[in-house]
Each structure stands twice: as C-alpha cells, then as structure tokens.
C-alpha cells in the first residue's frame, strides 16, 4: 500500500496548556532527527496532530524509526485524496484489501470538518459500508469493538483515509524534561534506567568510567554501542568517557578493604556531578536498584550520596531484576549488556564490601587522599563522543583486530 503521509497523535502533550506549542516544537525536532536519512520527508506539526508527508519514502522504513520517538501516543499511515465520492470509495476498498484479514470485524468511522461537503458523516458511513459489502465477501460489521476501523476525515483541503492505528512510544519528547547526566556502566540496569529517563523527556549525557589497562577497549566500545541503541530514542546522545584507573589504584593503596567500593562510588558521583554542572544539567541518573548489590543498600546509597546535594534519580530503584531484564529485552539492550567484558566496577571489587558503611568513616578514610587533584586529573582526560542511532563500535574494533593478524 502506498501511503502519502503519517498522522501523529500527541497523547500526554494535551495536558501541557500554554506550553503545548513548545512541546510540539521539540517533538517535531526529534522526529526530524530520527528521519534525517529520509530528506524527501516533510514534517508539518499542527496544534492537534502532526503530519509527516512521505513524498515517496517507504512507510515501513519510516515506521521503524517513528515507533521509538517519545511523545507520540498513536499514529496512522494515511492516504490523502481529492474529496469525491468515487475517490473515497476506491481508496477505502484498497485499504480494506490491504489490511483486512478473514474473520475480522470492521466499521467505518467518518469525521467531517468541511461542513459544505455533499454528505454528512452518517451518510458517508452508510455509503462506504454498502460499497465495501458490494465489493468484498465475508465482511462483518461490529460497532462497539471492531477489529478494524476504516477512518475517513473530510477536511477543507482533502479527504484522508486510514485503516491502522499504531501505538507509539508514549512519554514526553526528549528535551522537554531538562538536562541531566546518566552514569552508564555497561551492565543490564543502567541502559534500562537511561531509557526510562529519556521516556520522561530528559536529555541525558552518558558518563562512563573506564580503567585501562585493567579494562579493555572492547569494554569501552560496548558502552558506546549500548549508547547507540539508546540513541534511537533520542536522536543523538553525547558519550563522556572518564579515565578512572589512577583513582582506583590510589584508593586500593590507601583505603581499608571494606570501604574500597564505597569510596570508589563517592568519587564517581563527584565526577558525574562536576560534569553535570559543566554541561548545564540539573540531576544525575543511575541504574541502582535497592538491595541488588552491596553498593545499593540504603545505607550504602546514603554514604555515597553524602558527596552531593544534586538530585540523584534512580528509575529502576524499585524494580525486580526480572522486570529490568524484560524491559532490557524489549528495548534491545539485553544481548549486548550480558557480553562478558570486564568493567571498572568489578576489577577492584573487594571480596567483603561493607553493606552498611558509615558516613563519618567514609569521610575519615577519604581525608587521606588528595581528592581535588585526583578529580582534576580525571576530568582533564575525558573524551566526548557524539553517538547516533545504531552507531557500532565493537564491529569496527573487530575489523581492526582482524587487520592486524
């Protein structure tokens, strides 16, 4: 079926009152980003819905991008035609033949904003329904809960027909919820937390800690590639790689074993907070889930949170592991997250970390370190990479390795 455009419905944006225009503008910008590979497509945002004019672009390909844009409640592939009864009948028949399956029920639903059109809504419903019964076998009408609704909208400029109502990603357009940094480890939880932050409209910069030579470039590229998957929901995400080996070596040499993990996390949070401030963010997100590991007990969270007053938001804090895994599978990060590349959180992990660390003890041990100098040197070594949807880094590295053999 050759569709001429896609009609997008906004959903939650309808509650935004006077700010609605700004939200719609941001959504249009995000749609433009994800469809940048289709220069022929035109985006026309309106107050009640958005029209995406395909101009020959294949709907199936555009659909794959559009279904991951937050802020879209539902959308329909649509055909725009002249307002004649013959054109409406022929197009309605073509749509039914393309989408109707044996055993389905259907109804015709007409809306008319052009009140000078020759037929009113009830007349059109009846006439098009009768026409379809004359052209197709085994049709059955169901008015309350039909399997298929043939929608006809008669507007001032044209008639618009559609027979599919597709569910969008929901949520709010990315960028309408402010800016923040996300602490991305490369495991299962933090990519899911990133997805949930993006869904509430928050524009995030990824902060990833790596520790060469203890961690490999593959581990770093894995985190970048996870960001590429999540960029499908944002259009583009900046990836900030923070060297962390010197800090870990210093902590390992000077801090009692039970507090290694706590002090490392306090440094990570300080670094994330400074990067947040430099980039104009208002919050820090991470993938902590209450009680999952030693660093995620409430006592540990309190001891680690002691280093900042910035809001630290934990979207998966109350989710079970099985729930997190199910969502990771849904958004496409799970298979990559379980790749067994070491990360900086595991290489210096103590065998018996404190699960109930004391804030005063953490401060006391930390006073042995030149905290400011360690943080300044780590910040001086950061690398920022803009990452776009489905950017790949592990495959590129594999090709480099093969070329060296």
As annotated, the binding site for ATP includes: 183-184, 208-209, 265, 287, 296
Distance CA 349, CA 351 (A): 7
Distance CA 311, CA 57 (A): 43
- Which residues, including other chains, have CB under 8 Å from residue 318's CB and lie 6 or more apart? 289, 290
Q: Tokens representing 202? A: 């928050």
Measured over the CA atoms of residue 239, residue 245, residue 381 and residue 181, the dihedral's sign is positive
Distance CA 393, CA 133 (A): 55
Measured over the CA atoms of residue 343, residue 348, residue 350 and residue 356, the dihedral's sign is negative
Q: Which residues fall in the annotated binding site?
A: 183-184, 208-209, 265, 287, 296
- 310-336 in b/e form (b: 16+ CB < 10 A) is bebbbbbbebeeeebbebbeebbbbeb
Distance CA 347, CA 340 (A): 13
């Amino acid at each position: 079926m050759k569709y001429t455009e896609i009609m997008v419905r906004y959903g939650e944006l309808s509650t935004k009152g006077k700010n609605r225009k700004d939200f719609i503008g941001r959504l249009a910008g995000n749609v433009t980003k994800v469809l940048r590979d289709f220069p022929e497509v035109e985006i026309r945002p309106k107050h009640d819905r958005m029209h995406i004019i395909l101009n020959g672009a294949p709907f199936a390909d555009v659909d794959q991008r559009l279904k991951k844009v937050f802020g879209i409640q539902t959308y329909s592939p649509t055909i725009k035609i002249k307002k004649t009864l013959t054109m409406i009948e022929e197009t309605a028949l073509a749509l039914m033949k393309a989408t109707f399956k044996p055993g389905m029920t259907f109804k015709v639903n007409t809306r008319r904003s052009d009140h000078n059109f020759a037929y009113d809504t009830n007349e059109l419903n009846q006439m098009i329904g009768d026409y379809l019964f004359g052209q197709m076998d085994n049709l059955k009408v169901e008015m309350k809960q039909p399997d298929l609704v043939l929608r006809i909208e008669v507007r001032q400029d044209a008639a618009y027909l559609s027979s599919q109502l597709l569910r969008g990603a929901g949520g709010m357009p990315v960028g309408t919820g402010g800016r923040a940094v996300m602490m991305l480890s490369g495991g299962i939880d933090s990519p899911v937390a990133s997805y949930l932050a993006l869904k509430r409209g928050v524009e995030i910069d990824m902060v990833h800690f790596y520790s060469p030579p203890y961690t490999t470039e593959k581990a770093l590229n894995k985190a970048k590639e996870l960001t590429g998957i999540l960029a499908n929901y944002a259009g583009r995400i900046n990836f900030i790689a923070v060297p962390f080996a010197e800090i870990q070596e210093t902590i390992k040499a000077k801090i009692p074993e039970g507090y290694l993990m706590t002090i490392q996390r306090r440094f990570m949070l300080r670094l994330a907070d400074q990067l947040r401030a430099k980039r104009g963010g208002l919050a820090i997100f991470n993938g902590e889930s209450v009680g999952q590991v030693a660093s995620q007990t409430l006592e540990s969270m309190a001891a680690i949170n002691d280093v900042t007053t910035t809001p630290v938001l934990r979207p998966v804090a109350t989710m079970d592991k099985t729930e997190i895994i199910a969502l990771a599978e849904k958004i496409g990060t799970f298979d990559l997250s379980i790749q067994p590349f070491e990360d900086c959180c595991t290489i210096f992990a103590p065998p018996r970390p404190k699960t109930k660390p004391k804030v005063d003890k953490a401060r006391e041990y930390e006073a042995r370190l030149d905290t400011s100098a360690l943080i300044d040197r780590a910040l001086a070594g950061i690398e920022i990479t803009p990452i776009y949807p489905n950017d790949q880094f592990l495959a590129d590295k594999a090709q480099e390795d093969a070329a060296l053999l």
